[in-house]
Amino acid sequence: MAERSADEKKALRAALAVGLATAAYGISFGALATVSGLDIWQTCFLSLVMFTGGSQFALIGVLASGGLAAGGAAVTSAALLGTRNVFYSIRMAPIIGPGFFRRAAAAQLTIDESVAVASAQTSLPAQRYGFWVTGIVIYLGWNLTTLIGALIGDLLGDVSAYGLDAAAAAAFLGLLWPRLKERQTQAVAVGAAVVATLLTPWLMPGLPVIVAAVVAIVIGGFNLFARKGTTA
């Protein structure tokens, strides 16, 4: 193996730190998925194929509250949360370079964390290296811990007695928390939460979450609540 540059070593350290921290989320996901009504295979399928934490949590969250009747809303919520990966893949395409198989593998590993680690590096080799190492570490860790969590959730049985329904909300909050730095994002979060709550008695379970996405479109489209100089 060729000697790694200092840049690449830095990328490797970042990748391992982020990778290990994220892999631990998998336990929560696996446990919550099985108590939401998925079996162990379905839970593992999501981590293997969908492999994007926010969408996975969204899917099981909507299914937990609305059951199979909310299937359409569950798929839509997962898809809407997955749209940010479109922008990640655009950013990563020049870093990954050409080649069908390389790009296909990169697409599957294009998630918040791999893109964040790659973007934090300064040289192209380190960016490329950071992307792959982070993506692979998380892919392996996430799937392994999903399986462990699913086995635990399967053993637990009744959800509410253990407070796992509250754990689901706390898990979403953990995904949202790092995004709340900008005032505009805070406004969107508060607005969407209010809209979803107010609509809950009136719409089928799952739909209030999707309608609340309109808050992001309105505030983003008109660029409301933006601080001066941070319009993009």
Partner 1 sequence: MTTWQIVILASIVCLALKTVGYLVPPRAFEHPTVARTANLLTAALLAALIAVQTLGAGQSIQVDARLPAVAVAAVLYALRVPFVVVVIAAAAVAALIRAVT
Site for partner 1 in 175-204 (CB under 8 A): 175-177, 179-180, 184-185, 188-197, 200-201, 203-204
Residue 28-47 contact track with partner 1, rule CB under 8 A, x = bound: x--------xxx--x--xx-
**Torsional sign, CA 46, 47, 50, 54:** positive
Q: CB-wise, 46 or 117, nearer to partner 1?
A: 46
Q: CB-wise, 120 or 203, nearer to partner 1?
A: 203
Q: How far is CA 91 from the centre of its chain?
A: 17
Choose among 49, 4, 34, 5: nearest CA to 153. 34
- Measure the N-to-C terminal CA separation of the chain; round to a whole number of Å: 42
Interface with partner 1, residue 81, by CB under 8 A: yes
Interface with partner 1, residue 88, by CB under 8 A: yes
Interface with partner 1, residue 49, by CB under 8 A: yes
> Which pair of structure tokens corresponds to residue 65?
């509250």
CB 214 → partner 1: shortest distance, Å? 8
CB 5 → partner 1: shortest distance, Å? 26
Helical ranges in the chain per DSSP H: 6-23, 25-35, 40-45, 53-66, 71-82, 84-96, 100-108, 112-120, 124-156, 159-162, 164-176, 183-199, 207-221
* Amino acid symbol at 31: A
CB 203 → partner 1: shortest distance, Å? 8
Distance in angstroms (rounded) separating the CA atoms of residues 227 and 183: 7
Site for partner 1 in 56-75 (CB under 8 A): 57-59, 61-66, 68, 71-72, 74-75
Site for partner 1 in 90-119 (CB under 8 A): 90-93, 96, 103-104, 106-108, 110
CB 63 → partner 1: shortest distance, Å? 7
Query: Which residue among 9, 140, 163, 183 contacts partner 1 (CB under 8 A)?
Result: 163
Interface with partner 1, residue 124, by CB under 8 A: no
Distance in angstroms (rounded) separating the CA atoms of residues 57 and 107: 20
